[in-house]
Amino acid sequence: MSQKPLSLITDEPWLESYAPTVQKRFDRFQSALRAIIDFSGSILEFARMHEYYGVHFEKMRNGWVYREWAPAAKQLFLMGDFNWWDRESHPMRRNHRGDWEIFLPFEDYKHTFVHESKIKVRVIGANDTSLDRIPAYIRRVIQDEVTHDFAGQLWFESAPFSWSDHAFLLHEAAAMPLIYEAHVGMALEDEKVGTYREFEELILPRIKAGGYNAIQLMAVMEHPYYGSFGYHVSNYFAPTSRFGTPEELKSLVNAAHGMGIAVIMDIVHSHAVKNVNEGLNEFDGSEHQYFHPGDRGYHEGWDSKLFDYGKWEVQQFLLSNIRYWMEEFHFDGFRFDGATSMLYHHHGHTDFGSADKYFDEGVDDDALLYFQLANTLIHQFNGEAISIAEEVSGMPGLCRKVKDGGIGFDYRLAMGIPDFWIKTLKHKQDEEWDLFELWHELTNRPRKEKSIAYAESHDQALVGDKSIAFWLMDKEMYYSMTVLEQNLVVDRGVALHKMIRMITLSLGGEGYLTFIGNEFGHPEWVDFPRLGNEWSYKHARRQWSLVDDPLLRYQQLDLWDKVMIQLAKDHQLLAAAPAQQLYLDPDKKILAYERGNLIFVFSFHPTESFFGFPIRMPKSGTYRIFLDSDEKIYGGFARLDKSVAYKTDKDQMVSLYVPNRVVMVMEREK
């Protein structure tokens, strides 16, 4: 009896020649899941190793147990404030599983093994080196302000955190995510590291007022170098202490849920910091415990270590990490960093001109399987949780269900869109903008796979590049952003910034993302304190005073963002079918399309306005403009009259006045 083809193949006939590979991937997943179920009962139970490894209080034995997986190590010693950092007095022993373990009776250690005291584990490795390490499953890590040394810190809550988010519903954000990407440390205007509490009190209300229904938090997991933007993770189960305590992070998430906002974590399972003092590298004295040995275990571009996703214990470590953040901190989903790098042995550094590249020996089958397992776990834990891949290669089936032959993500970040905008702004005059290329870039995505569109994220704003607003207006943003004067550079920049965001939102995907501050055209770039800038925080912050000043045009850009997001919510715009093109004129730079029963008309022409411009509407009737970017409140010139009714003729045509550099949104009268 022949096997029924997977839905991915029947839905995408062009993949038929690759059906055996897709089937093989699915069969391998099923085999791996069966092995997990046979071992643990379910993948949810399999992902509980954070409850076994690390430091835990055992009521039955009335004491603390610390366990560590270090198979190649010759000896481990627990040390810390509790034993005055004696490197020999507390040797660990191998238990029946082969793990290292030590038990500390409560009565003997109740006065020394205490909340906020520091610990490390001394490891005599396979290579006979003796190094003081931080426990792999530690829940909190702190840095000494004088020596700059990192150590694990015992964190014993006097009482469990009191959650009040039981009524929070994730459905809206899961169905149509409007994501506000943010970094807690750089969220304040002050030149310092911001805290979870300050973010909760000062920034969450701004996000709520902006209409966004989800936050994507960067740099949550502990990382030794602040300037890494959180992408060189050292301690996977420790929320970074530089922003505050675990309870303060929980409070932030709880408060967001109280505002109806989902919280997505930017999770870094694509690589790890190579540091041996703070991270996992060579933990047991071998180079192949958590990571691949040799060149395969090192990413040259990132100067970091690469996980061995095919190893059972590594799968369990990473899957437990996912469950931990969802269960302990109530995160509503994840944005998986570097998915392209994970999926391929070449890390995506190739030309994907041929579909063979998605199915040949360049694909890392272990990483692909890990993603299938991770997405299975996420959606079993919470059926509405959001799983997003930072993926640029276009891997087929990335955002299809695993049972269909896919990899199981809910959304793919449309990474080509911001690259297109930056390339266009850097290399083309306004007259050279190619609307055919623009349409293709914003609409070219698989029919049954969802994308999150964005004009810019943290990647585009980093040092070495500039925000879109700064590409458009550059130094004029320092001198000419007042509403009291007119400036041609600023007029152009404000007009195009509004149009770029609206066309990206309405055309580019089934979700939308902005980076903190970019909703009002934050100037300059992002640059964390480092030796090269004399450890300055000047560019590692957000200048909220700009948008709060009614005399500056940042407020106009912000008001446009608010009405744009509200438009998407009111009309369920991104949940609607992909847009249908109504008109495209490459010379006049006019583009019109319909999506979600709304008509969008864009004119990217730099100078000319057009009177009586004919555009065929999808239905006969009377149409009205109910939103346009040329309104005074949004920094425009009020050239359009919303009271005008546009009736279709016998050919379903309307005649419009289309000013230059404007977008108008029209609706058919019921």
Q: Which residues are catalytic?
A: 337, 390
Contact 607, 430 (CB under 8 A): no
- Secondary structure element (H or E) that encloses residue 612, with its range: strand 610-616
CA distance 529 to 141: 21
The residue among 149, 83, 324, 337 whose CA lies nearest residue 228 is 337
Q: Could you give the count of Cα atoms lying within 13 Å of 219 in the half-sphere of its Cβ? A: 25
239, 252 in Cβ contact below 8 A?
no
Task: Tell me the C-alpha distance between 30 and 38, whole Å.
Answer: 12
Structure tokens at 96: 């029946």
Please state at what angle helix 488-507 crosses helix 416-427, rounded to 10 degrees. Answer: 160
Neighbours of 652 (CB within 10 A): 13
Bridge partners of 93?
101
- What is the separation of C-alpha 111 from the centre of its chain, rounded to a whole number of angstroms? 42
Q: Looking up tokens 């360049």, which residue turns up?
A: 362
End-to-end CA distance of the chain: 55
User: Under a CB-based contact definition with an 8 Å cutoff, are residues 390 and 339 in contact?
Assistant: yes
C-beta neighbour count of 548 within 10 angstroms:
14
Q: Which of 421, 414, 644, 430 is nearest to 509 (CA)?
A: 414
Segment holding 416, helix H or strand E: helix 416-427
Q: What residues have CB less than 8 Å from 342, skipping those under 6 apart?
A: 269, 270, 309, 336, 364, 367, 370, 371
Tokens describing residue 344: 């391929």
Cα–Cα distance measured from residue 290 to residue 280, given in angstroms and rounded to the nearest whole number? 7
Place of tokens 């969450």: 204
d(CA 491, CA 269): 43
CB 474 within 8 A of CB 521: no
Helix, strand, coil distribution of the chain in percent, nearest 5: 35, 25, 45
For residue 239, the Cα-to-chain-centroid distance in whole angstroms is: 16
Going by C-alpha positions, the residue among 513, 516, 522 that lies closest to residue 547 is 522
The beta-strand segments (E) located in 434-571 are 450-453, 511-515
> Which of these, 89, 86, 82, lies nearest to 119 by C-alpha position?
82
Q: Containing H/E element for 119?
A: strand 118-124
